[in-house]
Structure 1
Amino acid sequence: MEHESFTHMSHEHPLSPISFVIQERKYDAWCSGCWRYILPDDATYGCSLECGFRWLLHKECMEKPREIMHPIHPSHPLTLYKPEDLFQSTKCAVCEEDVLGLRYRCSQGGCEGLWIHLGCASGFLNDKQPSMEHPSHPQHQLQFSNKTRWCPFPCDACGATEKGDSYICTLCNYWIHESCALLPRSADFPRHHPAHPLSLAFALPSEYIKYEFDCAICSSTLPLGRWVYHCNLCRYVVHLKCTTSTFENANAIDDEKEATKFPIAVEDMYEEMIRPFVKQHKEQILIPHHDHDNHNIGGKYKFSKHPHSLSFTTFSSSSSSHDHYKRDEDDEDDSDSVPRSELICDGCTLPIHEKKQTDDEYEHGYMSCDECKYFLHLSCFNLPLIIPSHPIHPLEDHDLTLQNASKLTDWIYCDVCDGFTNGLFYTCANEYCWYKIDVKCASLPNTITHAAHPRHDYLKLVTYENMYSVGFCINCNRYAVAYKGYFKCNSCRFGLCGECVMLPARSKHRLENHLLSLTYDARVNRPGDFYCSSCERHMDPRSWMYHCRDCDQSFHPKCFPATSGKYRNINFGTRQHMISSIHDHLLRFQIISKKKRCDLCRDDGYDEPGFQCVACFFVVCKSCGLKHIGDANEAI
């Protein structure tokens, strides 16, 4: 059956099974029927004659009947229709959303313009009006059959083709397994969803279609017209077969210590990522007590990415010498741009913390510049200058070299986390490659566990020789490629892109008085819609968010620009600038939070980097501030 071809009204040539590998370049990425993304495990059909026809169809969408009856329009049959332009948008008569791709329409006189999504029609794909017996097929009685049935027509409930007793409608060719026909309308599945019983639905409910939900157990696509079990309170939905599955872990590794647990709190990223990364590339981390490779010159150490010599400062001796570099706990600044009362490393842009352990394994100081406010973790001081082959960028003759970004200008954009940094970063030495990756993303381990996927233990970094190998991120619902850092579960289709993996475990918004945790299950016991308390936009309930159950406040990660958004790797520092040509008070470089518009150019600068007065409500955007800072700038 896998090699059969089918004729379909959407194309002049027969449609054949198309593998996901072939799909990547020759075909478009979404189904021309239901208009959902084509994912790696989806059964998909397309034209294999290389005639230039780029559209694909899910197997289920290809099998939709040419003509149906629907309760919303009982007077006439509806016909499957393909417009000349599949992007031509019409309104669905059921859900009133835009219809793209294939659709059903009534072509009878006087009814022109009645359109229905394939998904909205899925619960009623039969040719007669209701008069029920089994609730899944109210049109006619279903007749019990103990005849062996083995044919290419799948069960209309679960989609499987299996021998055995069944119930059929002789008028409609509607057929379901006996086991499916006897399924309870509501049942407990404590292994998978202990919070509530799950309800049986005879077609995928529209809210799961709208947000493109996958099965919560196997992470595979949910067919539009098959039965599912779901929880209305938690927006939890699964295939019928998955409710009885055990899904034993199949990708365990021998040494649990090899996997790093994600998400990681910002204050733990240095210990969990940077230090292991440096130790992996160097036998030991240099603790500068004495001359080592001619680095120590009169108690000073050269660092190739900083113009001045650095000193090693122990935490016990730093309290008096660097107090003025730290944030004041009583500072009235309400920006969330830099954690207070901390030194910030100019390499990884993470806080520098004193470790309580006295073991030599732990660092007991950091590197600092006596001439300017420049600090480095000891491990960041020892970062490898060249990485010949990085797992995320393993191409031959594409060495990664360590570079330093400017504090205020020429920030680089990391190709993994899609964020800016003004710290240390690696760039490809190949003159035809512009690949850049910040220090934190370069330190990503090869094996991780993630709290969003407790069903299986480990996610592995995809390191295919083809750096453009395609996967799919379960959170942001976008295609992910290996060169951007893609982690994949070996037991199911669960995968995460580097940007989502790097989201910190906790974040804080200036409108909230406490830290919010990164949440993957905010919809548990929380029916209804979600709205971001910052941008006030509607939120996809299945996507990750920073959520507080007590306050019922939700935020997009990107609405925390300085902690989990695109500026999370920017070290804003504590320097205060005197730009007398535009303002009489000291200005601090940070995320603008006091005012919506720049006081000079009047452009919107809220939640963007800029210069904000420490004494009043004057703000200027980054562009305007840099125009005037020039040689007249005085840093305090």
Structure 2
Amino acid sequence: MEREPLKYFLHRHPLIFNEVLDKDYRRSNCNVCQTTISGPNYICKECGGFIIHKSCTELSDKLEHPLHPKHPLIHTWQFEGEPKCDGCNGEIKIYHPIYKCSDCNFRLEAKCAFLPLTIQAEIHHEHPLTLVRRCLSLTCDACGKEDKCMFCLCAICPFLVHIECTSYPLLVKHIRHRHPLHLTKSLKPHLNQSDHRLCPLCVKKVNTNYMVYYCSTCDFVTHLHCAANIDMEGEQWERIESTSMLKFEDPGLDESIDSLPYVVKKSKQGEDNIEIAVEIKHISHKHDLKLIDEQLKNDEKCDGCIWPISPPFYTCTQCGFFLHKSCVELPRKKLHPLHQHPLILLTESPYVYKYFFCEALGRHCNGFVYHCDKCYFDLDVQCSLRSDIMNHEGHEHQLILLSTSNNEKCNSCDRVGIIFRCAYCEFTLDFRCATLPTIIRYRSYEQSFILCYKSEKDYDHEYYCDICEKPRNSKHWFYYCADLDFPAHPECILGEDPNMKFGKTYTFDIHEHPLALVDKRKGIHPLCNKCGKSSDGWTFECAKCNFNLHPLC
């Protein structure tokens, strides 16, 4: 029986009940408790973005709480600033729900307001713990962090712990390690080393005098919050109830999809009697592709990785289709440290608008994609080739991929993103900079531009970009042509959409001819033949009959 729309006191529109989560709301958080939505929920169809758990609609609009016994707390929204929650001491983001006493300016986030007052912790402690609010900074006996917030206190023995630390399970399985990780009180009695070890997930020191997650098989040590972290896209860990539930080997790759993505039509004998495929049929293209081992005079992009084409590569001269030899040989299925499920290689975006959003780059792309159909997680080709440990020409030490999202900036561009960090000197690098081509051509210039990592003091020119004529940060990487004495921002050399190949054609049921993806942000803005509105961005265009279609149409 269909439920009547719900009138919820914290929202102006009626809410529609859903027994299961709609795929359009994947990875959505509840607008009340801020935890992930998975089960029954209510959605506002008018706003589109308002979604809450069914259980959260049953919360009272007024609450009496023992942490503030003087006055009742009223359920409302946080409308200005980012004040601290008087429970967990964390910042309350604007438009987040709170329980508030206006007389005393006391605030509790919804997730803190309904914590049980007595907790039986999952961590190594045998006594019940009582929820207390402290005004002094105290050190957690589990993780070792000092905070001024709500703690759980054991009245029997001197044990004090953060609320979030009470729920860490005894066993977890993290995607960055093949064995289970055991919650361990302290490694100090078992180690003949210093009190500190390096956590491979956040690349920071671990104090082994406090609780850690540990694999004795590999001597793998991590912080509690790193091993049980869900900051990145998709779940990074899973709670394990017993060792009988664990799979100790890496997830297997389906043999049926591990076959080569191409068939050799013609080959020749190369050096050391190695067969070289000179003509192939690839799953990404309807015509045969021929091997070319010379540099093209004009600039073209590879249809796989969307990087400038360079030899050796395969091409279809009939269609202007290009693939690097390395892109031809990409595996059909692979595991990546950014995601918990195997990723499938697709030669075209699975979405109706024919491009995808790379989770590592934070950019739209329309080349080959490694895709998880369960989570709608997508990586472009270049990002898929970066593992959890990387060597880069721009830095002398190994870089390690962080499994935690701490809003850290990249040293070479100052952007915040998914970061690789050096354990020795705190150098950081994001995926955009890690995947920059080292040599590139720019427009009609015959000379190549080289990616430069050194300090600007090694160069005589001023700190300006010769393309946009704006200042450059002397600490940031840049492209430089020594023959022309021409320095430039990477974004000025690469353009506004470096991971998009415009001019690629696609077929749609709505039109009888192939449509080419073109950029209409400059110049004439044609009308979309479906919605009738002007197109001032990307559009699909038919050159034969002047037909235009918005990507979302």
Structure with more strand by fraction: 2
Regarding TM over 0.5, the answer is no
Structure number, greater radius of gyration: 1
* TM-score, normalising length: structure 1: 0.35
Structure with more helix by fraction: 1
Higher relative contact order (CA 8 A, sep 6+): 1
* TM-score, normalising length: structure 2: 0.40
